[in-house]
Amino acid sequence: MKRNLIKVLTLVVLFVLLSVQAVFAGSGKDIYVRIRLRFPRLFNEQVSFQGFDGIFVCDDEDELFSLDDKLTLRIDTYYSKDYYISDKSRGVYGPYHVSIWDEIYSSYEDAYSAAEEFEEKYSEFFYPYLVKKGFVIAGGNFKDKNFSEDLAEELKDDGYDAYSFNGNLENIIAYNKKDKPVFMYEKDIPLYFSSYNEDEDYEMIKVDNRTYRGRIRLHIIDDFKLLTINYVELENYLYGVVPNEIPSSWGMEALKAQALAARTYAAYNIKPGQIYDMEDNQNSQVYMGYDYEKPSTNRAVDETRGQMIYYDGELIQAFYHSTSGGSTENSENVWYEAVPYLRGVDDEFSNRSGSPHTTWQVTYYKEDIIRQLNLDDHDVNDLYGIVIKKVSENNRVIECIFLTDAGEISYKKEYARLLLGLKSSWFTVENGNIFYYITEYYPLNDNQKEREDVVPSRGGILDLITEEENEETKDTIRDTEYERGNLAGKYIISDQGTQKINREKVAFISTKGVSLVDTNSDQYNFEGRGWGHGIGMSQYGAKQMAEEGYTCEEIIKYYYTGVSIK
């Protein structure tokens, strides 16, 4: 029965990869998704598996054989007893092996029996080695080429068709719990590992001590990265997503709205030819597998089974975020493309939800911001100020200028908040040492509307008095519109005449009344609203809508403009 189930599952995977859109037209229950598991992966070069019974190995059509219930899978390279090392001289294991080609075996079991005979005769590790033609026998995992050549010569002297070879980064090796190699295969052969949980009546396997439904395939990329890809049916994937994207205690209609959005988001991203469709973190959707499933969120998935969100007959990119802060955003104001169903909407539901992220505040020192700019390939030694140049109709920053000794550095749309690690792009910034200076040579009322678009509503606008005034100074001021800078070292006109500012704080009168500011502040205070990119559904807004009696369909249609559910 288990063999038949596996055949059905693998055939479905192939069908999905070849004809994704045809599957989308159906109920959705047969869609498979491939997730790259990043957490709690302990190593880049190896991974541990644990089964509920034995671990079985499949290709694209059949179950091939079973192994022990505990395995460590490693890239074929240099290792100490337990883990990869870059210093080859310290290796205990290495990528040099012998291969014996006298017979190509059709089954793992036959190859394993032959390997045991070689092991007994030559007192070295021998094990089945799956190549594209079938199973052959491989021996040793030597760090020194001479050892494998010596073993190959000994085998040849005894009449075997044996060769020494270096399999570095070309194979994947399975070790049992006694750290003995029991199986090796060429990295490009599509093999899947899983076991069977009789209680759940479903394939499951533990990966680095976390349980996942479905099967696991391994890929080697970038030489030393062993990717762990979870192949699982979409609905079962959602069981591990929804409770990690939204609290399972929230109202059922909010949970169902989350299930609809998560299902649509995943299905939209399934494309033929990819190694994986999703990651298990915020880069895609947070997926933590079977151990984190909850009854309420499983019910939400079941009650919306197969349903997805469409615009004009096509699946949407169902983006969502935690907290809007009072309005969601148009897609082109955060990224680049204007998407008709991702329009900003007023969101008092989010404001009423009690989200702890509705308002927030964070302070950075100047040197912290300089460090982030330099990590982003700028050569900055000093930061004079930060100017918010343009804000969207939904209150999010569209362009932010960093005034530095290397010149003005512009960050547009989402990139400013990502650079600074802010919760959202709906923010203002206050710093005592940045002011805007005007002079008599540039009338304030010229192009007034344009100036209002450029100059932020926060901060001061002061008259600039320089130590030297000449024609060159006038031209510079006229060309650059507003001069920006800090107050330290500048001159002011007071009742005591013209004086140079040399105090740490100064009081001045503005339209806001009397303000006391630092003349040389090294701190930047950011105040903002919301958490996330602000596109699509606000999860806290969905929570509030559910509490106020709205259905999941009403929630979805509120946050995604002009969509349908089917």
Q: Which pLDDT belongs to residue 487? A: 54
Residues sharing a CB contact under 8 Å with residue 199, sequence separation 6 or more, in sequence order: none
Q: Which pLDDT belongs to residue 443? A: 39
pLDDT digits (tens, 9 = 90+) for 92-131: 789 999 999 999 999 999 999 999 999 999 999 999 999 9
Range with the lowest mean pLDDT among 9-13, 123-127, 306-310? Answer: 9-13
Q: Which pLDDT belongs to residue 504? A: 53
8 Å CB contact between 169 and 74: no
pLDDT digits (tens, 9 = 90+) for 390-447: 999 999 999 999 999 999 999 999 999 999 999 999 999 987 554 444 443 333 344 4
pLDDT digits (tens, 9 = 90+) for 70-102: 999 999 998 886 666 666 777 778 999 999 999
Residue 497 tokens read as: 């005449």
The long-range contacts involving 410-418, CB below 8 angstroms and separated by at least 24 positions, are: 413/333, 413/334, 413/335, 413/336, 414/334, 414/335, 414/533
Dist CA 53 CA 465 (whole Å) = 82
Mean pLDDT calculated for residue range 342-354: 97
Q: Which pLDDT belongs to residue 33? A: 97
Res 277 pLDDT > 90: yes
Mean pLDDT calculated for residue range 43-53: 90
The DSSP call for residue 110 is H
